[in-house]
């Protein structure tokens, strides 16, 4: 299970700060040069200035004093942790019901049994004879 890093190293904080510059700037640019998503949001310029301020803060302290980014790192980690936890389970659930279940239903309808689980009363054993594995000596004489 993923755990929250409450004591990040300076290297992690520096990387976080540099990524924060790119991410906060990109999000501010997205709002500024909107794609039609933020037309109706009142007070857009303060949001842009806040994001650019965070980008500047991250960039400055990533280079000068990475420990100053610890509060922002922990805040964003704590906020995003439950989101990631829920989304990961939703993705697994969707994959199961949209991929695995339909494949299993098709196999059931056409009678395919890839694991050979059908009961056969005439067999004495369900053992499948396999060829013995090759010796390791042959790996050294490939050609």
Could you tell me the sign of the dihedral formed by the alpha carbons of 65, 67, 71, 76, in that order?
A: positive
Is the model's pTM score more than 0.85? no
Residues 11-48: tens digit of each pLDDT: 999 999 999 999 999 998 888 776 555 566 666 678 88
What is the arithmetic mean of pLDDT over 62-71?
91
Tokens of 21: 């510059």
Domain borders along the chain are 10-81
In the chain, the N- to C-terminal Cα span, in Å, equals 46
Task: Give the model's pLDDT for residue 110.
Answer: 94
């Amino acid at each position: 299970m993923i755990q929250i890093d409450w004591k990040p190293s300076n290297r992690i904080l520096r990387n976080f700060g540099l990524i924060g510059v790119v991410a906060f700037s990109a999000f501010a640019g997205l709002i500024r040069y909107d794609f039609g998503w933020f037309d109706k949001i009142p007070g857009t310029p303060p949001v842009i200035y806040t994001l650019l301020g965070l980008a500047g803060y991250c960039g400055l302290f990533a280079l000068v004093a990475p420990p100053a980014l610890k509060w922002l790192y922990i805040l964003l980690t704590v906020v995003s942790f439950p989101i990631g936890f829920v989304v990961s389970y939703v993705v697994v659930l969707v994959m199961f019901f949209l991929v695995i279940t339909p494949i299993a239903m098709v196999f059931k309808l056409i009678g395919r049994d890839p694991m050979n689980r059908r009961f056969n009363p005439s067999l004495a054993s369900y053992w499948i004879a396999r060829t013995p594995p090759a010796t390791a000596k042959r790996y050294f004489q490939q050609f």
